[in-house]
Amino acid sequence: MAANTIDPNGRSWEEVRETLLTPEERSVSGLRVAMMVELIKARAEQGISQKNWRNSAELANQ
């Protein structure tokens, strides 16, 4: 495909991400994703819903 043509299917997220984010930003983003995945796993293992987790966090901040 020529450089000036537009792909009717659009671009992949990986292509867009490479364009928008610096290598450092991509690394930080990946770390955030990994942390969220671990948080979700821990909540699931303990049987804590997101709503209950949020409510307990609000109580801790009072």
Range of the domain at 45: 32-62
The string of pLDDT tens digits covering residues 2-35 is 566 777 788 888 888 899 999 999 999 999 999 9
Triad 40, 25, 35: Cα angle to 5°: 15
pTM: 0.61
Does 37 fall in a domain?
Answer: yes
User: Within a domain: residue 7?
Assistant: no
The total domain count for the chain is 1
Q: Is 20 exposed, middle or buried (0-12, 13-18, 19+ CB in 10 A)?
A: exposed
Asked if 47 and 56 touch (Cβ cutoff 8 Å), the reply is: no
d(CA 38, CA 42): 6
In a domain, 48, yes or no: yes
**Radius of gyration (C-alpha) of the chain in whole angstroms:** 19
